[in-house]
Chain A
Amino acid sequence: MSDTPRPADEDAATRDEPFVVAGHRFASRLLVGTGKYASFEETRLALELSGSDCVTVAVRRVNLDPRKGESLLDHIDRRRYTILPNTAGCFDAESAVRTAQLGRDLLDTPLVKLEVLGDEKTLLPDPVGTLEATRRLAADGFEVFVYTSDDPRLAVRLEEAGAVCVMPAGSPIGSGQGVLNPNAIRITRELVRVPIIVDAGVGTASDVCLAMELGVEGVLLNTAIAGADQPLRMAVAMRHAVVAGRQAFLAGRIGKRLHANASSPMDGRIAGADGGSPRR
């Protein structure tokens, strides 16, 4: 007789509220970027294996070379994936707003992943430009998913400014350092009402798991998959990790204690099992 739980038991045990941002419902709590893959085909496969249904893209000058190849958009099925255009590479609010407008015109979507960066070396978000751009875009009808630092008070300001989703960085973009300040993310979760997606710095599966265990709604990553030795394998790992972390969070973990708490009963042991009297 198999001891594998029947699907109904697993469904009941893992019941979760749907993941919804600004009225958009996502089947997966993992969002994936489309950058830095070796090819369009690898991009397509990685997205598929990640289980994600929301992907980010960047807005850049079109290649005017007559020998142009295919477009990324030819490889992303819009019936399967919600596309979230980003404003990556913008270092002030004005260019971020312009980029968002171009993305909205191109995709006919109000969604935007807003990035206003401070410098090229750290790619840390510029808080002032980010706040200004959030206000302007929200006022213009955009649904702003805003990339920000792990400063909880800034997250509150961004929500007040109209962001529909706050996306604190775990560590610098592409750095693979994971979530450096878990407590800041937890505090952000306490103070902010809109969904939180940890975005940036994720390096491997355990980082995703840890982030989800903090109680956030989702994780966005790109380099962790695209830069792995085996991206497709890592995409699968991430798919499992986001589920594992979310379910572990919902399950309510045990507390941490200094001393042991035996897993097997002490009652009913055979004579002599305790070696005479218990040692000090």
Chain B
Amino acid sequence: MADTPANVDVAVNGVATQVPAGTTVAGLIERLGLRPELVAVEIGGALVPRARRSERVLAQGEAVEIVTLVGGG
């Protein structure tokens, strides 16, 4: 059986980032020091609904977008 890598490479808002294997979306939000109620998350262009954040595990090479609300017209 191949060794499981200890870390996983993902892109967060376009920035290459490494997280421990098995990190969930909820875990990523916490690692980044973000307030969960103020953000929404997409992986590979698809929304990860709030209710699924704790179970959605980040996979190698995934592109994560974490957004919030800002001023706008």
**Which A positions have Cβ atoms within 8 angstroms of B?**
33-37, 43, 56-64, 66, 68, 71-73, 83, 85-86, 88, 98, 101-103, 105-107, 173-174, 200, 220-223
Contact = CB atoms under 8 A, between A and B. Distances in A.
A178 B9 CA distance: 50
Given A66-B33, A71-B35, A106-B40, A60 B73 contact: no
B68 A62 contact: yes
A74 B4 CA distance: 42
Contacts of A200: 73
Interface string B13-49: 1110000000000000000111100111010010101
A54 B72 CA distance: 13
Contact of A62 (B34, B47, B50, B72): B34
B72 A86 contact: yes
Contacts of A102: 40, 42, 47, 65, 67
A73 B73 contact: no
Contacts of B45: 98
* B-side interface size class: 20 to 34
B62 to A, nearest CB: 16
B69 A64 contact: no
B72 A34 contact: yes
* Pairs of residues from A and B, 9 with the lowest C-beta to C-beta distance, nearest first: A58-B72, A33-B73, A222-B73, A34-B71, A35-B71, A106-B40, A102-B40, A62-B68, A57-B69
Given A64-B15, A71-B38, A57 B47 contact: no
B12 interface: yes
Given A35-B72, A57-B71, 8 more contacts: A36-B71, A59-B40, A59-B68, A61-B13, A62-B34, A62-B38, A66-B33, A103-B40
B67 A62 contact: yes
Nearest to A76: B69
B71 A62 contact: no
Contacts of A223: 73
Contacts of B33: 66, 68
A106 B41 CA distance: 9
B73 A62 contact: no
A58 B40 CA distance: 13
- Taking each of A34, A61, A101, which has the highest tally of chain B beta carbons within 10 Å of its own beta carbon? A61
Nearest to B38: A71
Given A71-B38, A102-B47, A59 B73 contact: no
Given A64-B12, A66-B33, A105 B72 contact: no
Contacts of A83: 69
A60 B70 contact: yes
A16 to B, nearest CB: 26
Contacts of B47: 98, 101-102, 105
Contacts of B72: 33-35, 56-58, 86, 88, 222
Nearest to B66: A62
A72 B70 contact: yes
A33 B69 CA distance: 12
